[in-house]
Structure 1
Amino acid sequence: MSRKKAPKGVSVPKGEVSWYYRWHFKRPDGSKADRKRALCHKDEPMSTVWQEWRKLQKELVNQEDKLILDDLWKMWKDSAEFKRLSIATRKNHGYEIAPLRKHFGEKPLDAYTLPDAKQYLELRQKDGNGLTSSAFGSRTMALKERKLLQRLFDWGAALGYCQQLVCTSLKVPKNPPKTEIIEDWQFEGLRRHLSEIGDLYCVGAYLLIARMGDMRSLTPEQLEPKGIKITQEKVSGVTQYKEYNEDVDEWLERALSRYNRIKERCLKEGRSAPTTLLCKPDGGKYTYWGVESQFTRAKRKLEASLGMDMKFGFTFHTIKHTTITNFVPAERGATKQQASGHKSEQVLRIYDHEVPVVPSNVLPRKQQLITRTQSDIVRTAIANANSSKLGIN
């Protein structure tokens, strides 16, 4: 066999510095799975390439077509179950799978054990774990990723792709519930440091009791006579009409004025009209970070303007916590749960930080003290009378 050429399937991909062996096979659902393994540095002699290739072939005996977590994820993404999920949930699962794939790599599905899942959860909670670009660990994300891992294995086991992995017994300590809201003076201070579009996003989210995602996808077609039609995609999928009032009308007038200016410019330049109401200056749709970064900059400016070493812990999403907490059912003619669109009181309580006002107690009145003393005297007299009758001295 010639040693001048590399083995079949072995090459140095463009931009790489190593020889790689590549192969592919069909997954159980008929989709194509691609694999690759590094052999050695590209400057090594061909004899070394062949030597490393033979070694790998021995390692891969009966392992070449083993399914890994990445295969399970891609098959689930193509399933009807995944497509029934909301767009927001699909995106979140896309973020959650990334550190799982990075950690487990090409570990075969039939080799997963409960200790493997436990070790991952412990690592995910540590700072500097290397699983994401963040320098900090996260209990919240560890819990979400454990749930996704369980869901993937439940789905795969039901179809015979893998063995069942039950990791629901693995507990992740929950973070203390958030109780912070944005105080009125903080909200006004933020507005002074926000751009026009940043202010429209913050005020709109407060008035409409909506998430940022709902605000980013808001279209002119949702402005109906009944009110502003919003589907709470992330919360419950509930569609509501947010009624117009004086404050909403004022906000909407500013938003439409800006939208129409951008629309006119886009059409004049031969481009299509913006599809979203709170669009970018070029007519495009804002990303999550495009809005969050404006909010964060305004928050930093507010902190600096106060002249104190003060750091606010709230984010854009805190606006929803604040507006639900400040909502007064008696004045607005609806309960907090109706206004927020949450399916249950339990979920609503996560957002509602209103501190209840309850009556305090009062000290005993003098009359109550007199009555009590008189009762003691009567009881003593009766006891003495009974003693006399019985001849007890």
Structure 2
Amino acid sequence: MARGRKRKFKPDLPAHIDQAALPRGIYWEENRWYVLVDVPGRRRPRKRTVAYADALLSELHAIVEAQKSPDTVGSLEYVCRKFRESTDYKALKPGTREDYDHHGEIACRYVLKDGALLGALPVDRMTVPGVQRLVEAIARGREASPGHDAVAPRPSTANHVLRFLRMLFNWGIRMGYCTKNPAQGVRQAKEKKDAKMPERQPFALVLAFAKERAALPLHSKGACPPYMPAVMVLAYNARLRGMEVTDLTDAHALKRGIRCNRLKGSRDNVTRWNDEMRWAWRWLRDYRAKRQDAHKRPIPLRPELRPLLVTQTGTPLARSTLKTAWQRLITAAIEANVITAAERFALHGLKHRGITDTRGGRSAKQDAAGHISPQMTDLYDHEEMEVDPPSAREDDELAFDDALETW
């Protein structure tokens, strides 16, 4: 393999650098070390600064190696991979692992201005301002540009990425894969407090519409997945997220109610049965038996291995499939003039509706939702509290009556 011509001696290079041992692909200019990176939409490569005058020769070699493989020791991609191999990761619930994988991928695949991937950057070279710019960029979205498609603003996703990075770097410090947490001190993106909670009438109309469309033959025009009405009933009555509904198995059905395994730090609890929940559970169970029997699916003996929600082929229903089915249903309801576009609501809004409709005070709603803190319940409870006026003392009431007589 040809190594190219020998480097010329440069007197302005740092004196502690052996110029003959410099790695290929790194250059010196105006008190900085840089590499050339190809950027989509540009004819010439862009100079990307990777180090300054105090960098050691060993560090320059490590930087060049990092450009070749994003999985170099110490890079963001490397720390993410090590975390996925750890016992801490394997002890997490499947939903949490899926959430971490998704937002870790967003961070690692993020393209910097010079065309490099953030995953190739060593964690110890990341800074608080750099992570803050990452959060702001994801929250703001990206307009269409050469080599890139437009991306809608995603403040919620930006905050999820930030929380993942904070956790990842703290873990990396404990395990010795990095020495600092550049995500600590970064401010979260401001999210719109729009729960998209349905009013009672639009909720009832969409539920009736779902039952009507679910009764149509599969794949016929206007039909929606048969399981959708039951999903809406469980999400509202048990105050569940959509992904928590897809995680339900036969092991969650108890004599006294449904055991709700809640994600994102909430406490698990048991929601007592009512007639609607019994109907939804029996319908989903019977539908599963029909679809599995039609496709000759084996039935696991252990109840925790028997998911309640299945597709028409009898396989477990994926979270992404439920999200897509919901968007099609709510869009069809708007097109059929069942609700207006302004009344559109999210599947997660049914959890808001269920918590808001829960009887009792704030403490009862917090227990029903499994929230750790009252602040979280405040985000889900949209009911206006009715309070009594302060009780007046007896002598104040007499004085008030006397004043009325003089008037």
Same fold (TM > 0.5) = yes
Give the aligned partner of residue 293 of structure 1. 324
Q: Does residue 356 in structure 1 map to residue 385 in structure 2? A: yes
**How far does residue 146 in structure 1 lie from its aligned partner after superposition?**
2.1
Q: How does 1:236-255 map onto structure 2 within 5 Å?
A: 236-238=266-268, 240-255=269-284
2:99 paired residue number: 92
Find the aligned partners of 2:2 and 2:148 in 1 and give their Cα distance. 44
Residue number in structure 2 paired with 1:79: 86
On the 8 A contact 2:131/2:182 being kept in 1, the answer is no
* 2:249 alignment counterpart: 219
- Please show how residues 346-385 of structure 1 align to structure 2 within 5 Å: 346-359=375-388, 368=400, 370-371=402-403
1:205-354 alignment to 2 at 5 Å? 205-238=235-268, 240-267=269-296, 271-273=297-299, 275-306=306-337, 310-329=341-360, 335-354=364-383
User: 1:178 matched to which residue of 2?
Assistant: 194
Over 3 Å counting, the alpha-carbon distance change for 1:133 and 1:287 in structure 2 is farther
Give unpaired runs (5+ residues) of structure 1: 4-36, 40-57, 375-393
The residue type paired with residue 102 of structure 1 is R
- Give the alignment partner of residue 199 of structure 1, picking from 207, 229, 241: 229
Deviations 1:177-204 (A, max 9, x none): 2354212221222123322211111112
Aligned residues of 2:242 and 2:348 also touching (Cα < 8 A) = yes
The residue identity in structure 1 corresponding to 2:237 is L
Three-state SS of the structure 2 residue aligned to 1:282 is coil
Pick closer, same or farther for the CA change 1:253–1:77 going to 2, 3 Å.
closer
Distance change (3 Å), C-alpha of 1:301 and 1:368:
same
Match of 1:118 among 111, 125, 132: 132
Give the C-alpha shift of residue 360 in structure 1. 6.5
The one-letter code matched in structure 1 to 2:179 is Q
Measure the CA separation in 2 of the matches of 1:310 and 1:241: 35
- SS of match in other structure, 2:259: strand
Greater Rg over alpha carbons, structure: 1
Q: Which amino acid aligns with 2:403?
A: T
1:106 equivalent in structure 2:
120
Alignment of 1:46-65 (within 5 A): 61-63=61-63, 64=65
Q: Percent identity?
A: 20
For 1:99 and 1:139, locate their aligned partners in 2 and report how far apart those are by CA, in whole Å.
Answer: 13
Q: Quote the Cα distance in structure 1 between the aligned partners of 2:188 and 2:83.
A: 25
**CA deviation profile, 1:74-107 (whole Å, cap 9, x unmatched):** 1112223323333222211111112211231422
| Cα deviation, residue 67, structure 1 | 2.5
Check 1:241–1:99 CA distance in 2 against 1; reply closer, same or farther (3 A cut): closer
SS of the residue 1:335 aligns to: helix
Query: By how many angstroms is 1:325 displaced?
Result: 0.4
More deviation, 347-356/100-109: 100-109
C-alpha separation in 2, matches of 1:201 and 1:244: 15
The CA deviation at 1:318 is: 0.7
CA apart distance, 1:346:
1.9
Q: What secondary structure sits across from 1:229 in the alignment?
A: strand
What is the CA-CA distance between 1:338 and the residue it aligns to? Answer: 2.3
Judge conservation of contact 1:124–1:137 (CA < 8 Å) in 2. yes
* Residues 180, 314 of structure 1: 8 Å contact kept: yes
Cα RMSD, aligned residues only: 3.7
* 8 A Cα contact 2:292 2:313, kept in partner: no
> Could you tell me how far 1:69 is from its partner in structure 2?
0.7
Matched-pair contact (CA < 8 Å) for 1:299–1:312? no
Q: Distance in 2 between matches of 1:308 and 1:198?
A: 17
Contact (CA 8 Å) 1:266, 1:273: kept in 2 or not? Answer: no
Contact 2:259 2:270 in 1 (8 A): yes
* Contact 1:193-1:301 at 8 Å conserved across structures: no
Superposed, 1:25-44 pairs within 5 Å as none
- Give me the whole-angstrom Cα distance separating, in 2, the residues matched to 1:150 and 1:122: 16
Task: Determine helix, strand or coil for the equivalent of 2:140.
Answer: coil
Rounded Cα–Cα distance in structure 1 between residues aligned with 2:399 and 2:59:
93
Paired residue secondary structure (2:258) = strand
TM-score under structure 2 normalisation?
Answer: 0.67
Letter in 2 for 1:125: A
Q: Which moved more, 1:60-69 or 1:119-128?
A: 60-69
Deviates more, 1:140-149 or 1:313-322: 140-149
1:161 equivalent among 157, 161, 177? 177
CA contact (8 A) 1:208 1:242 kept: yes
SS for the counterpart of 1:85 is coil
CA gap of 1:167–1:308, structure 2 versus 1, over 3 A, is closer
Query: Which letter maps to 2:298?
Result: S
Checking the alignment, whether the CA contact within 8 Å between 1:280 and 1:286 is kept in structure 2 is: yes
Give TM-score, length-normalised by structure 1.
0.69
